[in-house]
Structure formats: structure tokens, C-alpha cells
A and B are shown apart, each in its own frame.
Chain A
Amino acid sequence: MPNTKRYLITGGIGFAVGTFFLWNYPNLALGSAIIGGLVIAALCLLYSAPLPDMVKGGLIAGLFGAVMTIVYGPDKPGVAIIAGMLSGLGAGLLAFQRKPQATPQAGAALGAGAGAIAGAWTALALFLTAFVIAPAAGVDASEFAEHLSETVILADAMGLASDILILLFVLVFCTITGALLGAAAGAARALPLRPNIPLLAVIALPVILIPLIDRAGNLLLLDALIPIYIFILLALGLNIVVGYAGLLDLGYAAFFAIGAYTTAMLSSPHLGINISFWLVIWVAAAVAAIAGLALGAPTLPLRGDYLAIVTLGFGEIVPILFRNLGGGPPTGTLTLRFFGLPIGIEQMDLTGGNKGINPISPPNLPLIGNFEPSNKIPWYYLLIIIMGLAIFFINRLRDSRQGRAWMAMREDELAADAMGINVVRTKLLAFSMGAMFSGFGGAFYGAFIGAIFPSSFDFSVSIILLCMVILGGLGNMAGVIVGGLLIQGADKMFIPKGAELFRDIADQRALTTGGSTVGVSALQDLTQQRLLLFGIVLVVMMLIRPEGLLPNERRKAELHSDDDPININSVAAEADADPSLAA
């Protein structure tokens, strides 16, 4: 039974790592997530998945769980549920990777089994830690129990009962998630659907459930998630321009601004126009798409660096334009001379200048009424729908005559032209399609934040979007989403929370040792260092993995093309092409 042996070894290592963390930081959630991840690794072995899958699956799930719990762990309840769901999700995912399920029943059984094993293992690890290792390591048992009880909603009672409850929770949630995923995967298999549908179902499930967990656990996760999703939507649009069509756009935030300002102007008391959000979002997308054409047209003959510079300028001009189209004291009329005749134009405050436009009307639905800023759930689902549609349609664009034309143009513009592709049209379409999706994003952003300012659309936005696309994998939508989650997650969740954690540690040290906090304080405010961190991450990425985390196979080949046979052969061809003499 070599598999069992490997399973036990991996599980043991996972257990050791998990307990190490629990030992040093008696913080249930963090440890459980790490253990959960490693358990998944062990599960892979159980299902005889190859080693790389095991490592990848385990590490990804474990790391994600760990980060989530660092962020929301220490003082928020409900983390055990998240940990359990993540473990179950990972277990389910990996269980199906190698074993396609023919029926929903079989899928559910396998998923439930995988989830239950993951849950049982996590629960066992927690149990041993709480009652054996923690006491042996000298951690105060009652303190530890307190930590435990804080992490689960219902576990108010101290002591053994609450601990067992926690363990049960983990087990139950692992099993439920695993079973749901299994059923989804099995059902999708049984139906005449394409094979990526089960994967989609697996990813969609937690995305759809997050608001419910969030509400149950009072995690306030949506406040950060919605802006993250908006940025991912924008990055998906940028990916059309940069990833598919190969046109480097450094001013993409301009289209975001155009979408947001269109919404703000057409749907707020500022100009006295108040059109329903459901109409305005389309107008905003259309205006952004037209702006895309307007940027595209003059840049048609430009390539590479030159194009980048022009788009950079465009990105700078647009926010300044919005800043200067309004604000300031009323200046009465502006007099222009037209063929010598004075024409008075009443100066209008179109955009509110630096103060921006505030408030912007929220969307409204019959049953829900106005979307309230305090209740993020309708916003979240609206955004999910917009993103789902965007992904769906971008996918269709990519796998079509149009998408192939974009890629051909990226590969070799001259050859594309010679193959009958109208390069002008193709470029313009890429610009306007890319801009259109950021128009949707901008409209949603304006309505969601309820107020917009020119400073929200400056150069750093374009750069961060580009970073998201590059980090994840140029030209690959899944990669762009992952890159977006990482960079925006770091920006909006992990770095601020990490800074808090640092501060706590520094304060603690200062208290216990009586020393100063000066040395630490320079480092502790991580939020100040976020651009530095992005910079470091990007430089490291470019050096070790320039194709991004989840590369598009094509780009990967392009960037590692030392052994490019075309180059070699074309050199050979030139060498051979010496004129032969007339025979």
C-alpha cells in the first residue's frame, strides 16, 4: 500500500506544520486552515493524484485559507466555517480532477467522502492540539478554549462542549461543501454539457455563497470584495486590449473614469438628470466604447512603445478634463468670439471639479427597492451577474473569427494584413470592446461608491490594472482573475490587516520588554509600503516567471523562446538562400 504510506507521511507533515503554528500562535483558525490545506494534499495522495497536483492543490488551498484567517481570524467568529468550506472545496476539487463522475449520486458520494475525510482530519488535528499539544506546550488551556469559542458563532459556552461543537462544524461544513461540489460535478457530467461546466459550478458555488457566510459570520468581507471584483472586471477588459490584441495600453483608467462620470452625470441631482441605473449602465458602456474608438483612431499607425506613450497621455488627460469641466465658484458666462461676433456660453459645472459628483443614485429594483449602501448583498449579486456576463461574452469573443484576428495581429501584424484581416477595424474593435467592459465597471463603481472624484482614476489605477493582468497571465482570463484577486486582495485586505497585526506585535513587545517601538514602527505601517511591495513582487515575477502565474500557453512559449525553432530555421533559411546558379 504505497499510497497509504505516502498519505500518512504527508498527513503527518501537515499535522506537524499545523501544530507548530498553533503552538506559537494559539490561534485556532490559522492553524486549522493550514492543516486543512495540507490535509487536502494528503487527500490527493489518497486519490492517487500525481505529486505536483498534490503540492499545488494543498498549498493553494492552505495558503488561501491561512491568509483569509490571518485577515479575519483572530477576532471574528465564523472562521471555522470558512476553513471547513475551503477544505471541503479543495478536497472536492481535487477528488474530481482525476475521477470524472458519471452520475450526480456517484459525484455526491465521492465529494462527501472527500469532504468528510478532510473535515475529520482537520477536526482530529484541532482536537489533539487543543487537548494534548497545547497543554503540553504550556499554553493555558482556558485561554486556548476562549480562542476556540470566539471563532464559532454558537459556541458561547466555555470548555469541552464548545470545542466539540467547533470540531463538528468543521466536519459538517467540509462534508457539505464536498457533497455539493460532487453533486454539481456529477450532474454536469450526466448532462450533455461541456467538460468545463463542472469546474465552473465548483468555482461558482463559493462565490455565490460568500454573502451568506459573510452575513452569518458578520465578517464584513463584502466591503472589500466588491471593489476587488470591480477591478477584476476592469482587468478583464484590459486583457482584451493588451492580452489578446497585443496593444499596450497605459491609460486604461480613462475608460473607467468615462464610464463612472457618464453614470454620475446622468444619474444624480448634480445636473438634475436622473435616469435609472439600468439604462445608464448601458449608456456608460456605449460612451466608453466610443471613447475607445476615439483613442484608437489616432493611434492606429503606432506600435509598441509609441502606442504606450499615447495611451499614457490619454489616461492623464481624461481625469484632468473631468477635473476642469466643473467646480470652482460660478464664473458667469464665458464669451467666445465667433467670426467677430461675441457668443456668451453660460459656464456649467458639469463634473464638480475636485469635489466630484455626490451623491449618485443607486440602482432600484421592484422587490428590493433602492440598493442601500449599508446592505452590500444586492450590490454583490448585481456585480456577480455583470462579471459573469462579461466573462461569458469575452470568452465568446476570444473563440471566434474576431478573437483569432486579434491574436493574429498580435503575432504578426503584417502577415495578418496579408491574410485578409482588416487591421484598422481589428484594432479599433479591440480598443472599443476593452473600453466597453470598463464602462460597465465604471457605471457600477459610481453607483456603488455613490460619489466620484477625479483622483480615483489617476495613473496608478492603470498601472495596478496592468499589474493584475501581467501577474496573473497575459491573455488568460483565469490568470487575470487570479492576479486580480491577489493584487487587489493584498491592496484592500491583506496589507491593511497585516499592518494591524504588525502593530499589535510591536505594541505587545513594547509592553513586555518596556523597549521602544521605534525600530518596528518604520516597518509596521505596511499600507504606506504597498507600492513598494507591488514593485518588488513585479520585479521578482518578471525575473522568475514572466508569463504570469497562470500563463496562456502561447505567451508562455513566447517568453521562453530561447529554443524557438522558427528563429533558428529562418536563420538557416537565409543562409541557404544564397543564389544558386543557372543549371
Chain B
Amino acid sequence: MAPLLLARGITKRFGGLTAVSDVSFEIEKGSIVGLIGPNGAGKTTFFNMITGLYTPSDGDMIFDGQRINGTKPSEVTKLGIGRTFQNIRLFAHMTALENVLVGQHCRMHTGLLGTLFRTPSMRAEEKEARHKAFELLEYVGLGRNSADEMAKNLPYGDQRRLEVARALATNPKLLLLDEPTAGMNPKETDALTKLIYQVRDERDLTVLLIEHDMKVVMGISERVTVLDRGIKISEGLPREVQTDPKVVEAYLGTGHAAKGKGGGAPVFDKA
């Protein structure tokens, strides 16, 4: 079976800096894949190339048999890639329900005239969207009570869940999670890990996650890819990767000590 996502020789240069260098990578349909690496390894840059925020300088990104280099983020989402953000980027001053409804935007079809004249098909679509939004909120563990709460007023863990719900609302085939457990306590982390499994099993999804927390990555991922300074240094089952000397060196050696926190693409560091 062809992989859902296939990256071939992906390179990204920012001026003289090569953030990602000749990375090849594939994700099987239905798997949960972890992408790890010390800060500044190019994980988020890689992520942003999948979602269309950056265009690879070189190489091919193929999703579901289609080349997606240079495709706009909104188009990529339409093709079936949903994502969350490292620093939560909810629509802070919209309600939880509205956030999920926005997620469904690209799966809805009502045009301007339909909106202005509130045609029967628009009403039906809107009703269905609301129904689905409530369902998703409940699915990720946010009760109906949270639906009318403004996103910024939700507790931190719930905001992470809401981001997952919003990403699921885009009806993705591939779900990208950028450090989904960052800032969570162990209990919240456990619950989110369960949710990720549940999503994969029940919704027929493929999941790619970036994670710093080794315990989470090793516990949840079926396969792990390790990046260091833009280069893929290891790949395989979690067990294998963990004992790979190159990985140990990347984390315990120069890689960790030399670089400060706040790795990833410059775009997200401002938040």
C-alpha cells in the first residue's frame, strides 16, 4: 500500500541556513508516527512544509498520491491534513463551538447568496455543522457546558483538547499534532495520549506528532523519526531509536547543550 504521506529529499533553506536537509520520510496509513529531535532540529519547519506554510526548497512532498509542494495552507487542509499548534492558536475570542465550526469551514459549501437568503440547503448545512460540532466537543471530552465558553476562558488542558476538536472538524485523513502535551501535567498528558489513540482507532486517522516529552512519544508512537540539525539521524520502532547511539548523542551530547529553548520555525516563536 502506498504511504499516506511521502517526503522525498525535502530540503528547506532560509537564506544561508539550512533548516531541513534532504529528509526522506514516509507515513503509513493508520499509523501513529512520532517526529522527535532536540530544539532547533527542524521539526516544526518540516511540519510547516507539510501544512503548506513553507514551500520546500527542494524535494517532493506527496500526500495521498498528490504532490503538495507550494500548495496554500487552506488547500492542504482541504486535501485532508489537519493540525494543531505548538503554542495554542485558538480563535481566543470566539466560543468553543464557533472554533469547531470554523474548523468545518472548508467542508461546507454555502455561498454568499445562500447565506444572504438563508436557503433551505444552507439551513440544513448549518444545522448539521452545529450538530457535528457538539459531537466533536463531546468526543474530545469538552462537555456541552464548554460550548458557549470563549476559548480563552477554557482551562489550559481544555484548550489543547479544543484545538484537537477544531483540527478534527476539518475532517482530516492525517492529523498533525505539534507538541500536543506541552505544558500539561502528567494526568492531562495521559488523558490526551488516550485521546490520540482513540482518534486513530475510531476515526480511521493517521497521526504525526512532534513531541519533546520522550515518555509520551515512546509510549504512543508506533514509529519514530529523529531529526537533528535538519538531518534525519534515526528511524524505526521506539525501542530501536531509544538505544540508537546517534540519538543518545544528539540528546545528551552537543545537541542539547548547545541550543537554547524555543526551537522550531521563527514564525511560531513570537507567540
Q: Which of A407, A555, A583 contacts B214 (CB 8 A)?
A: A583
**Does B90 belong to the interface (CB within 8 Å)?**
yes
Chain B residue with the shortest CB-CB distance to A397: B115
Complex contact A583–B218 (CB within 8 A): yes
**Does A421 belong to the interface (CB within 8 Å)?**
yes
**Does B67 belong to the interface (CB within 8 Å)?**
no
Assuming the contacts A569-B156, A577-B183, asked whether A417 and B73 have C-beta atoms less than 8 A apart, the reply is yes
User: Which of chain A's residues have a CB closer than 8 A to the CB of B2?
Assistant: none
Minimal beta-carbon separation of A196 from chain B (angstroms)? 16
Q: Which of B90, B116, B166 contacts A397 (CB 8 A)?
A: B116
The interface residues of chain A, by DSSP majority, are classed as helix
Chain A residue with the shortest CB-CB distance to B216: A580
**Does B153 belong to the interface (CB within 8 Å)?**
yes
Complex contact A583–B106 (CB within 8 A): no
User: Which of chain A's residues have a CB closer than 8 A to the CB of B91?
Assistant: 407-408, 411-412, 415-416
User: Which of chain B's residues have a CB closer than 8 A to the CB of A572?
Assistant: 156, 183
Complex contact A579–B183 (CB within 8 A): no
Interface with A: B11-19, B80-88, B134-142, B201-209, which one?
Answer: B80-88
**Does B69 belong to the interface (CB within 8 Å)?**
no
Complex contact B108–A419 (CB within 8 A): no
**Does B42 belong to the interface (CB within 8 Å)?**
no
Complex contact A579–B156 (CB within 8 A): no
Chain B residue with the shortest CB-CB distance to A552: B93
User: Which of chain B's residues have a CB closer than 8 A to the CB of A420?
Assistant: 74, 77-78, 103, 105-107, 170
0/1 string, B107-138, CB within 8 A of A gives 1: 11010100110100010001001000000000
User: Which of chain A's residues have a CB closer than 8 A to the CB of B237?
Assistant: none
Complex contact A569–B251 (CB within 8 A): no
Complex contact B252–A419 (CB within 8 A): no
Interface with A: B21-29, B54-62, B94-102, B190-198, which one?
Answer: B94-102
User: Which of chain B's residues have a CB closer than 8 A to the CB of A576?
Assistant: 182-183
Of A417, A419, A553, A580, chain B has the most CB atoms within 10 Å of the CB of A419
Assuming the contacts A400-B126, A418-B77, asked whether A574 and B87 have C-beta atoms less than 8 A apart, the reply is yes
User: Which of chain B's residues have a CB closer than 8 A to the CB of A580?
Assistant: 212-215
Chain A residue with the shortest CB-CB distance to B256: A579
**Does B150 belong to the interface (CB within 8 Å)?**
yes
User: In the assembly, what is the distance between CA of A565 and CA of B251, in Å?
Assistant: 32
Complex contact A555–B93 (CB within 8 A): yes
Docked complex: A371-430 residues within 8 A CB-CB of B: 393, 396-397, 400-402, 404-405, 407-408, 411-412, 414-423, 429
**Does A365 belong to the interface (CB within 8 Å)?**
no
User: In the assembly, what is the distance between CA of A497 and CA of B159, in Å?
Assistant: 54
**Does B225 belong to the interface (CB within 8 Å)?**
no
Complex contact A421–B74 (CB within 8 A): yes
User: In the assembly, what is the distance between CA of A566 and CA of B53, in Å?
Assistant: 23
Assuming the contacts A419-B77, A566-B152, A574-B261, asked whether A400 and B170 have C-beta atoms less than 8 A apart, the reply is no
Docked complex: B227-268 residues within 8 A CB-CB of A: 242, 247-248, 251-252, 256, 261-262, 267
Q: Which of B51, B93, B256 contacts A418 (CB 8 A)?
A: B51
Of B78, B98, B115, chain A has the most CB atoms within 10 Å of the CB of B115
**Does B89 belong to the interface (CB within 8 Å)?**
yes
0/1 string, A83-99, CB within 8 A of B gives 1: 00000000000000000
**Does A75 belong to the interface (CB within 8 Å)?**
no
Minimal beta-carbon separation of B194 from chain A (angstroms)? 20
User: In the assembly, what is the distance between CA of A393 and CA of B252, in Å?
Assistant: 61
Q: Write 16 A-B pairs (CB below 8 A) sorted by A numbering.
A: A402-B115, A404-B101, A408-B105, A412-B91, A418-B53, A418-B77, A419-B77, A421-B74, A422-B74, A553-B150, A573-B156, A577-B86, A577-B261, A579-B39, A581-B251, A583-B242
Q: Residues on B close to A: CB < 8 A?
A: 38-39, 51, 53, 72-74, 77-78, 83, 85-94, 98, 101-103, 105-108, 110, 112, 115-116, 118, 122, 126, 129, 150-156, 159, 166, 170, 179, 182-183, 212-215, 218, 242, 247-248, 251-252, 256, 261-262, 267, 271
